Amino acid sequence: MLKSYHKFVDEIGTDEAGRGCLAGPVTAAAVLLPTDFCNETLNDSKLLSHKKRIYLKPLIEKESLSFGVAHIFPSEIDKINILNASIKAMHKAIDQLKDPPKYIIVDGNRFKPYHDTLYECIIKGDSKYMSIAAASVLAKTHRDAYMEKIHEEYPMYNWRKNKGYPTREHRNAILEYGTTKYHRFSFRLLPDQLSFDL
């Protein structure tokens, strides 16, 4: 995995988690790593076990020069759509950094300018560059923690396990119990052949 994309020392990486979920926020992180940072475990959070992500989270937060994490919640996702919400979450995460970045590398192929800062979108960047991989781990672990918290309020959806993703179990629970304030109503919560009318 490469340490950096550009020559700027304070290049930051950003990524999001939860874009395809039926419930809960979309969460983004932005991370500025020191130039000598190296970790053989770090990778795209989707390729890591839960145990490895939990191990990496405090390490990244301690060793990064600066980091930020931001949630955009379902009511806003429904208003501005998931793509715009994902980008807004990244911008809000970048807002939390100690200093404005000089360069931003973004996982994926879509972004909107952050003020006048130069940026580059990189397909599968979370498996290519350490700062994006670090952001993917923070976004995923912070979002998972949020979903585990709201699971206590609505345990019937088992968000502690499925984290709001469209599993069969989650959709069956929506069919049986209906929706909550944490669901995204702009998403297709149930397959076309199902309805809430029992």
Residue 189, in any domain of the structure: no
pLDDT value of position 193: 47
Q: Is residue 15 part of a domain?
A: yes
- Residue 188 in any domain: the answer is no
What pTM, to 2 d.p., does this model score? 0.94
* Domains identified in the chain, total number: 1
- Where residue 132 sits, what CATH number does that domain have? 3.30.420.10
Rounded to an integer, what distance in angstroms lies between the CA atom of residue 125 and that of residue 195?
Answer: 38
pLDDT band at 100, cuts 50/70/90? very high
The answer, yes or no, to whether residue 192 has pLDDT greater than 90, is: no
Give kind and range of the element (H or E) at residue 121.
strand 118-122
Is 69 a domain residue?
Answer: yes
165 inside domain: no
Q: What amino acid occupies position 196?
A: F
Residue range(s) defining the domain that contains residue 15: 11-148
Asked if residue 121 is part of any domain, the answer here is yes
C-alpha dist (Å) from residue 138 to 7, 46, 126, 163, 178: 24, 12, 12, 15, 31
Token output for 101: 């970045």
Q: Would you mind telling me the total number of residues written for the chain in this entry?
A: 198
pLDDT tens for 16-60 read 999 999 999 999 999 999 988 989 999 889 899 999 999 999 999
